[in-house]
Amino acid sequence: MFLMHLGSLRTSIVIAAFLSATFLMACEPAAESGEEGLTEEVVVNLPSDGAIDEALASISEERIREYTQVLASDEFGGRSPSSRGEELTIQYLTEQFASLGLKPGGMNGTWVQEVPLVAITADPDMSLAISGAGGSRAFEYGAEFVAGTPRVVESVGFEKSELVFVGYGAVAPEFGWDDYAAVDVTGKTVVVLVNDPGYATQDPDLFKGNAMTYYGRWTYKYEEGARQGAAAVLIVHETAPAAYGWATVENGWTGTQFNLVTEDDNMGRVAAEGWITLETAEAIFEMAGLDYHEMKAQAELPGFEAVPMGDLTASLAIDNTIERSSSNNFLAKIPGTTRPDEVVIYMGHWDHFGTDPSLEGDQVYNGAVDNASGIATLLEIAEAYTLLDPGPERTVVFWGTTAEEQGLLGSGYYAENPVYPLNKTVAAINIDALPIYGATHDYTIVGFGNSELDDYAVRANALIDRVVKPNPQPEKGSFYRSDHFPLAKQGVPAHYGGAGHDNIEHGEEWGRAQSDAWTADNYHQVTDEYSPDWDLSGAMQDISVWFRIGLDLAYSNAFPGWNEGTEFKAMRDAMMGR
Ligand SMILES: [Zn+2]
């Protein structure tokens, strides 16, 4: 049966405009869109309605609860990467997916992909020295700046590296923007603003206006600095554009930092990645005879050119303690019946924060909602797929990522070392935390407007009378902060969404209040534990949506793309030969 049940029994030949013409929110009439440059025919051969309904009906709230309870039990110790909890988790997932009849989906016929990790702990006894003809000043680690190195070396540093202010530090061809165009920063220390010019100006025509682009993320600033050959990148912290206060930066960037390790031990990355407080920035600009706020205003203007900071130089030495380890991405698959080389991915992170023996009382970060519930969902969706006859035309992969909580490391490693070729990977659906407060009228897409996958979500939600809404706070950059993002960054379209706040029984205000309270009381805390009181009716709605989105992809030959103006479109188009 075709997608949308057109009433035809033919199993092939659907016009190119099929998808956009049939989705409820599509705006172009079908008759015209065949001439709009689309050349591939999109064919969708779904199993019968009855078969789909039966598969959907098999998804059991009871089993979601059972799987979640096992994964979130104290015995699993909070599922920290490289721990006994990891062993138990991988073993449990292997047994469960095997018993459902899935095949190993990892490297060399195994269920896993090994992910090499390194833990680097910088000696806090360091200071950032800024000097020029007018004198010098040493800034205090923690209170005034933080810095570390991704390089796997015992000591690293630089002396008298010239300082350059590079504005937002963005090289964004799709927005006609290049902060590095007029400057060579090889060996220099760049000072860069957080977020992007669109957020700074709230101009909807600049970047993506209020919504953060990848150019606004700190990860991007460091990556671009490395591409430009800089010795160090110092990001100026301001609370509003960063979306968190200095305390978060100080806690997050000091102490042990987990990283992936490349073959060259990360020597291709900048020697020092750091943040400076707003006060530190103001002081350094003053030493350079510049006004920080004036320079910041200039950096918001198209055509901005980087500004050398007088005769100022920076010096910094970092000593590290290094510990190498490894962890595992878990991968299971249902091989495709007709196009097994094409892959649809369901993903969710299995890891959480482990056990902290220094805590009084409860020491286990059980991570029941985040993300034992998401892994339980992968198992239930996998089982539903096994009941479909005929089976999916494309291979469906179920991927439990590791070290998400350490900075998307498992997904980041996979994206750089894909088990399945990225140009054959149709899309990824990321599941991170089930809703526990009941059924809703709405569904929120994080990164709404980025890709044609939105249409699939709109249609799947319409089947259960739900409306799709954009993420209400796109300036926080949530799209860049979960595991689908490393794939998106490599060009693979990715969907990340779930129940909104508009609770069917209690209304929107109540729904938002429950969610806010949960975040305040339980998010990333030892109290994120399983409770029989969870209302999983909204989760069951979400699961049916995720199942449908994957179904519409796994039984089709469509390769949905990124929308015009997204950071990832050029890369996808290149790999797909578009
Ligand atoms: Zn999570």
pLDDT tens digits along 224-278:
999 999 999 999 999 999 888 898 888 778 888 889 998 899 999 999 999 999 9
- Helices and strands (H and E) in the chain: how many: 18, 21
**Residue 244 has which token pair?**
């968190």
CA distances from 487 to 164, 208, 421 (A): 32, 21, 11
Cα of 30 to ligand 1 centre, how many Å?
Answer: 39
Taking only the tens place, the pLDDT of each residue in 396-424 is 999 999 999 988 999 999 999 999 999 99
Cα of 346 to ligand 1 centre, how many Å?
Answer: 15
SS3 content of the chain, % helix, strand, coil (to 5): 35, 25, 40
**Res 478: pLDDT:** 85
Cα of 285 to ligand 1 centre, how many Å?
Answer: 39
Cα of 351 to ligand 1 centre, how many Å?
Answer: 8
Taking only the tens place, the pLDDT of each residue in 132-185 is 998 999 999 999 999 999 999 999 999 999 999 999 999 999 899 999 999 999
Range of weakest confidence among 14-18, 73-77, 480-484: 14-18
Cα of 372 to ligand 1 centre, how many Å?
Answer: 9
Mean pLDDT (the chain) is: 91
CATH of domain 46-110+335-575: 3.40.630.10
Cα of 354 to ligand 1 centre, how many Å?
Answer: 13
CATH of domain 120-322: 3.50.30.30
**Residue 365 has which token pair?**
């970060």
Cα of 383 to ligand 1 centre, how many Å?
Answer: 23
**Res 266: pLDDT:** 95
Range of weakest confidence among 30-44, 69-83, 279-293: 30-44
Q: What percent of the chain has pLDDT over 70?
A: 93
Cα of 365 to ligand 1 centre, how many Å?
Answer: 12
Cα of 500 to ligand 1 centre, how many Å?
Answer: 17
Taking only the tens place, the pLDDT of each residue in 517-575 is 998 899 989 999 999 999 999 999 999 999 999 999 999 999 999 999 888 999 999 99
Taking only the tens place, the pLDDT of each residue in 491-532 is 999 999 999 999 999 999 999 999 999 988 999 899 999 999
Cα of 195 to ligand 1 centre, how many Å?
Answer: 23
Cα of 178 to ligand 1 centre, how many Å?
Answer: 34
Cα of 366 to ligand 1 centre, how many Å?
Answer: 12
Backbone dihedral region for residue 160 (phi beyond 0: left; psi -120 to 50: alpha; all else: beta): left
**Res 36: pLDDT:** 44
Cα of 434 to ligand 1 centre, how many Å?
Answer: 10
Cα of 368 to ligand 1 centre, how many Å?
Answer: 10
Cα of 369 to ligand 1 centre, how many Å?
Answer: 8
Q: What does the domain layout of the chain look like in residue ranges? A: 46-110+335-575, 120-322
Cα of 407 to ligand 1 centre, how many Å?
Answer: 11
Say whether pLDDT at 37 is over 50: no
Cα of 186 to ligand 1 centre, how many Å?
Answer: 37
Cα of 423 to ligand 1 centre, how many Å?
Answer: 27
**Res 542: pLDDT:** 98
Cα of 116 to ligand 1 centre, how many Å?
Answer: 21
Report cis status (omega within 30 of 0) of the bond before 371.
yes
Say whether pLDDT at 18 is over 80: no
Rounded Cα gap, residues 537 and 543, in angstroms: 10
Cα of 405 to ligand 1 centre, how many Å?
Answer: 7
Q: Closest Cα partner for 357 from 526, 216, 202, 213? A: 526
Cα of 361 to ligand 1 centre, how many Å?
Answer: 24
Cα of 385 to ligand 1 centre, how many Å?
Answer: 24
Say whether pLDDT at 33 is over 80: no
Cα of 413 to ligand 1 centre, how many Å?
Answer: 17
Determine phi and psi for 308, rounding to 5 degrees. -60, 140
Cα of 519 to ligand 1 centre, how many Å?
Answer: 12
CB of 451 within 8 A of CB of 508? no
Say whether pLDDT at 122 is over 90: yes
Say whether pLDDT at 38 is over 60: no
Q: What percent of the chain has pLDDT over 90?
A: 83
Cα of 377 to ligand 1 centre, how many Å?
Answer: 13
Cα of 370 to ligand 1 centre, how many Å?
Answer: 5
Cα of 71 to ligand 1 centre, how many Å?
Answer: 14
Say whether pLDDT at 9 is over 90: no
Rounded Cα gap, residues 384 and 396, in angstroms: 12
Cα of 225 to ligand 1 centre, how many Å?
Answer: 28
